[in-house]
Amino acid sequence: MNDSLRKAFLEDGAILIKGLLNNEQLARCRAAYDWAVENHGPHATRMFNGTDQQSHVDNANPLAKERLEELVSSLPFGDFFADLWVSKKVWYFAEEVFLKAGGHGSRTLWHQDTSYLPWAGNHWGNAWISFESVPKKNALEIVRGSHRGPRYDGTTFRDPMDPTQPLHGGGALPRLPDVEAERCLNPDAYEILSWATEPGDVVILHPGSLHGGAPVDTDFPDRHTFVFRFFGDDATFHPLPDHSDSGYPKQGVLFSEQLSTLNAGDPFRHATFRQLI
C-alpha cells in the first residue's frame, strides 16, 4: 500500500479500494448476506410495502456471529487494515446489513456511527461492500475530514421533519448539523466524498465520519450492502452519555457483555473480539 492511501484515510476519513475482493470472495460474502437477511437478528428494522420487501437494516446479529467471524477471517481485511493503519493487530467487531429494494429507499440521514457505539481512536474502519454496480448518485456520501471534528449527538431517525432530532439529548454532545438543508442553500457548504463502485470494490470509512445518502430510485431500484467493522491497536473505549434515554438497546446486544469490562480510555483490544492478525 502506498503512503498516499494511508494519508488519505487519516486525513479524509474515507477511501475507495478498487477490486479488493475477487469473484470467489464476493460470492461467499453474498451467500452470507442472503443468509443474514433471511435469519435476521432481534434488532433488525424491516419495512414492507404489500408483499415486496422495501428495506432491511440489521446490526450485530447474534445468530450470524460465528458464521461471519469465519467468513471475515478468510478475507483480506486483516492484512489490509494492518497495512492501512500500520497496526500490529487487527480485530473484527461486527457487521451491518443494508437492503433497499423496489426503488423506494430514501436517503439515509447524516450521522456518525460513533454517536451510537462507544468508539474513539484512529484505528477504526467500516468496509462497505455493495453487490451491484452503484452509480455515484446512489452512493454513500461522506463529509471529508469530519472524523477529526466533534462527536455529535446522533439522530433518532424517527422524525421525518427533523433529521437532527437528538438521540441522547441533555446537551452532552453537540447537535448534528443539518447537512442536507445547508447543502440546499449552498451546494459547496461541505466537501463531499462519494464514488461509483463496481462489485469487488470496497469503500473504507472511519465510523467517526459524517455520512449518509445511498438512496435507491427507479433507475437504480435495488441495493444490497454488507458492512464489516474492524479496529486496531489505536482504538479506545469512549462511552456514550450515561444519562441517555435514546432507546438504543443496551441489553441483549451481541457485544454488550464484552463492552461491560471497559472503562473510558481503555484500549478496545482489552475486550474479547475475533482477532484476525
Q: What are the structural domain ranges in the chain?
A: 3-237
User: 193-246, pLDDT tens digit by residue?
Assistant: 999 999 999 999 999 999 998 889 999 999 999 999 999 999 999 988 875 544
Q: Say yes or no to pLDDT of 54 above 70.
A: yes
Specify the 3-state DSSP secondary structure of 141: strand
Q: How large is the average pLDDT for residues 119-135?
A: 97
Query: Which among 142, 80, 93, 156 has a CA at the least distance from the CA of 121?
Result: 93
pLDDT band at 269 (very low <50, low <70, confident <90, very high): very high
Q: Is the CB of residue 259 less than 8 Å from the CB of residue 271?
A: yes
Count CA atoms closer than 13 A to 47's CA, side-chain side. 11
Residues 277 and 275: their CA atoms lie apart, in Å, by 6
Cell 426503488 belongs to residue: 103
CA separation for the pair 126, 59 (Å, rounded): 13
The whole-model pTM stands at 0.93
CA–CA gap between residue 229 and residue 255 (Å, rounded): 13
- Mean pLDDT for 93-114 is 89
Q: 466537501: which residue's cell?
A: 191
**Considering the chain, what is the average pLDDT of its residues?**
91
pLDDT average, residue stretch 44-70: 82
Which position has the higher pLDDT, 171 or 232? 232
CATH of domain 3-237: 2.60.120.620
What is the rounded (10 degree) CA torsion for 194, 197, 201, 207? 30
> What pLDDT is stored for residue 74 in this prediction?
98
Q: 74-87: per-residue pLDDT in tens?
A: 999 999 999 999 99
Task: List C-alpha distances in Å: 164 to 14, 36, 160.
Answer: 23, 30, 10
